[in-house]
Chain A
Amino acid sequence: MTSRGSIVLARTAESLYWLGRYMERSESMARILDVHLHEIIGTTDDNEARWSDQISAIFTYERDYSSFEDLALGLSLDGSVTSSIRHSIERAYENAKSARDAISLEYWELINVAFGRVSRYSLDQFGHGLFTFYSIIKERCAQGRGLAVSTMNRDAAWHFLNLGYNVEQLDILLRLLIEKRRSEYPEDWVAVLRSIGGHEAFLRATNAPVNELGALNFLIHEKIFPRTILASMLRISNILNELIRGLDESQGLLLPPELPREIARLEHPLATEVGEVDQLLEELWSCHLLMCNFYYETFFSPLSQSNFNYPLRSEVWR
């Protein structure tokens, strides 16, 4: 049966993609801030300052802050900070509304309610209870992901939503690793693993104590844990193959060769040495940026037929 489900407007596809990105961003940020806020307790002032710098760089926080807690508060509940969790939830809601005809009622309902709740939270309400806030966000986002998985057709609309989730996962992990590698002091790699919820997964997969080389290789190369770089890239590649398959042959579209090349490289069984990591991350980052442009040019802005220059809806992070 051929159905109209195969038609996705360019604007709707863009909204779905950003919906996925903002939902994933909210969840990932909640996880990272939660872990760091916890580790800060009882640590040295130097360590706190260093982590504050890292986190503010990862999430492009451009204001002054007096402590890590102050920073975390701004990145969580301040709606005027464009990279805060609250802002992400708001943007997720706007995009969901714009793609209302392409997502399921239950998924929409969850986002609508989450938005209503989060927009009512005030800074003082959670001043000393950010952990509660993070667990609410993590729960909501996970519920949303679950509802999307179990209530939506696996059509093109789904692929764009799913693409957004995976691109954001990749984006945040790359940022995290790049910042952590910049540090001149030995990093707490257990905290890094826990930031993506992968500490236990690491132990179970490797049966080894956590060290820098092991953690980096796990986070970059491991296939069996879903949030690693390779796992995200493999899923992105699958989604794109599904989407490209439906395109007219005349358009002659192929995936940029960078993506399969990087995947092949990560799949190579030889472990990456610590000395090579920075260059590898650099290359993965530029591949990621290139792919983000590819999504825009291919799917979201086929405006070439028009004389009108419409402003693009979504901001880009960097």
Chain B
Amino acid sequence: MTSPFDLYTGSTGAFDEFIVNSNAQDENWLGLAKSIENLGLSELKRRAIEVEQTQSARGITFTVGGLERTFPLDPLPRIISYDEWNKVELGLVQRIAALEAFLDDIYGSQEIVRDKVIPKRVVANATQFSRSAAFPLMEYQMRITVAGLDLIRDEKGELVVLEDNLRTPSGVSYVIENRRAMARILPELFENYEIEPVTDYPSRLLASLISQAPPQVSDPLVVVLTPGVYNSAYFEHAFLARQMGVPLVEPRDLFAKGNEIFVRTTKSSKRVDVIYRRIDDEYIDPVFFRPDSYLGVPGLVNAVRAGGVTIANAVGNGVADDKLTYAYVDEIIDYYLHQKPILKNIETYRLEDPDVRAFVIKNVDNLVVKPVDASGGKGIIIGSQATERELEEVKVAISSNPRGFIAQRIVNFSTIPTVVGNNIEPRHADLRPFIVSSPDGRYVVPGGLSRVALEAGSMIVNSSQGGGSKDTWIIKGRSRPRVTTSFAQSETASQSQITEVKESAQ
């Protein structure tokens, strides 16, 4: 019997996670390949289709241009070893701790600017720097309750940070739903592997939110704030509210009165203590931000400032996930924690230096240019894939607004075997781990959301642009096969089937 992996050769230039690990005789990856061989690709696909139908029936979707789509789940999981993950986890916690300190400082006494570690203009000119949020928090509050960083594995196989998302990162619901789906697609593997569970997330998040309630409140009311049913991530908002057992509210359900926030219920109104908000800063309070926003809750920012309510994440976090701030994260870690960064950044060009700018403009076709304040992959120009006209436009844009962009080396990030048609082919994938912070400590979801570009050679993994996802397994070890199983395996196939039937009949 030939294995569907026999013809799999990986990709040129990029680090292929299967090829490298199976060559190194990694038993987890080899075990996966063996299982797929036993199962057969067509059976694997049949199970995957069945699961996709269930997901679609349950409304596990996201919205693009008014249409609801499922987020295609590739039935081959990604495996990351426990040892590597331990290091990544430390790196993530370190990075978030430093960025939290940075935000506190920036919206406080700005010592990092005074010590000239970061030029004042980098902070002051950031479009996401929010003067209205420039007040110190209460000591029980966090600025970055939820972070979702984007990591990629570079050509040498090392996981490096591509972006910090500290505003309203989404995707964690798919991590949990994917794990559920995989248990139905590959139940055989779940028996043999000890996979770190991801289902703790909602309770960890709830615990963090409750711990940030104003201290005088004994039984705090936590809510999830969504822009509404037409938001692309509405499924996730409803999912989290249900999993945490808290109300899902829209802005029109809330109102401010005397620096406190209330929710309209069928029995008068109730005071809200903590708001996990999934609305961007710009729309959250028409008093401070966009006056044309129907989405906002007028008076919310004042209530936060007065300590009447806690919102997570805090207002103004965008200054810390600004792409130019990204270029200073190593310095930030060193300044606040006196540590060496555990996770590396991608080499980034700061365009304010005229020499660097000239270099970037000259070599723009071999670089990636990114606007500093956008999220979700908007406005990114990949030099090697851009048209002449796009390149000309980006050169002009860089020259006229150097603060608005950064440039980075094009990373040929890693590929993972993915089911495409009737074959298994290499596809590029990134990784978004989620970190929940509370005053008592930090929790990292083991693994995270692996997003995979479904087109050959494509490096665009965004769900809105045809990306899929993979379940990410952090495997602690391989549990020893159960005695009955190994006994059955030594028999002939038909006998082992009989044994199974007997077992299930009991």
Interface of A toward B, CB cutoff 8 Å = 4, 7-13, 94, 97-98, 100-101, 105, 108-109, 112-113, 116, 156, 160, 243, 246-248, 251, 298-300, 302-303, 305-306, 308, 310
Give the B interface residue count (CB, 8 A): 31
B298, closest chain A residue (CB): A308
Does the CB pair B265–A4 fall under 8 Å?
A: no
Does the CB pair A246–B267 fall under 8 Å?
A: yes
B243, closest chain A residue (CB): A101
Does the CB pair B264–A8 fall under 8 Å?
A: no
With an 8 A cutoff between CB atoms, is B506 at the interface? Answer: no
Counted as pairs of residues, one from A and one from B, with CB atoms less than 8 Å apart, the total is 85
Interface residues of B in 208-253 (CB under 8 A from A): 221, 228-229, 234, 238, 241-242, 245-250, 252-253
Out of A97, A101, A105, A305, name the residue touching B58 (CB < 8 Å): A105
On chain A, the residues within 8 Å of B252 by CB distance are 11, 308, 310
B264, closest chain A residue (CB): A10
Interface of B toward A, CB cutoff 8 Å = 56-59, 221, 228-229, 234, 238, 241-242, 245-250, 252-253, 255, 257, 262-270, 298
Does the CB pair A112–B57 fall under 8 Å?
A: yes
Q: Do A302 and B264 contact each other (CB < 8 Å), given the known contacts A10-B253, A94-B229, A101-B247? A: yes
A251, closest chain B residue (CB): B268
Q: Do A11 and B269 contact each other (CB < 8 Å), given the known contacts A97-B229, A101-B247? A: no
Does the CB pair B248–A101 fall under 8 Å?
A: yes
Q: Do A11 and B247 contact each other (CB < 8 Å), given the known contacts A97-B234, A246-B267, A299-B266? A: no
Q: How far is the CA of A308 from the CA of B56 in the complex (A)?
A: 37
Does the CB pair B264–A7 fall under 8 Å?
A: no
B224, closest chain A residue (CB): A101
Closest 3 CB pairs of A and B: A100-B238, A101-B248, A299-B266
Q: How far is the CA of A7 from the CA of B263 in the complex (A)?
A: 10
On chain A, the residues within 8 Å of B249 by CB distance are 9
Chain B interface mostly helix, strand, loop or mixed? mixed
Out of A100, A247, A298, name the residue touching B248 (CB < 8 Å): A100
On chain A, the residues within 8 Å of B267 by CB distance are 7, 246-248
Q: How far is the CA of A94 from the CA of B228 in the complex (A)?
A: 11
Does the CB pair B246–A11 fall under 8 Å?
A: no
On chain B, the residues within 8 Å of A300 by CB distance are 266
Q: How far is the CA of A13 from the CA of B267 in the complex (A)?
A: 11
On chain A, the residues within 8 Å of B234 by CB distance are 97
On chain A, the residues within 8 Å of B228 by CB distance are 98
Does the CB pair B266–A108 fall under 8 Å?
A: no
On chain B, the residues within 8 Å of A100 by CB distance are 59, 238, 242, 248
Q: How far is the CA of A2 from the CA of B326 in the complex (A)?
A: 47
On chain B, the residues within 8 Å of A101 by CB distance are 238, 241-242, 247-248
Does the CB pair A11–B250 fall under 8 Å?
A: yes
Query: 19 A-B contacts, Cβ less than 8 Å apart?
Result: A4-B221, A9-B249, A9-B263, A9-B265, A9-B266, A11-B264, A13-B266, A94-B229, A97-B238, A100-B238, A101-B238, A101-B241, A101-B248, A246-B267, A248-B267, A248-B268, A299-B266, A302-B265, A305-B264
Q: Do A7 and B59 contact each other (CB < 8 Å), given the known contacts A101-B238, A101-B248, A305-B262? A: no
Q: How far is the CA of A34 from the CA of B381 in the complex (A)?
A: 59
Known: A9-B247, A9-B264. 15 other contacts (CB 8 A): A7-B267, A9-B266, A10-B266, A11-B253, A97-B238, A98-B229, A101-B241, A112-B57, A112-B58, A113-B57, A160-B266, A248-B267, A299-B266, A302-B264, A308-B298
Which of B56, B59, B228 gathers most chain A CB within 10 Å? B59
State how many angstroms separate the Cβ of B480 from the closest Cβ of chain A. 36
Does the CB pair A109–B245 fall under 8 Å?
A: no
State how many angstroms separate the Cβ of B146 from the closest Cβ of chain A. 19
On chain B, the residues within 8 Å of A12 by CB distance are 247
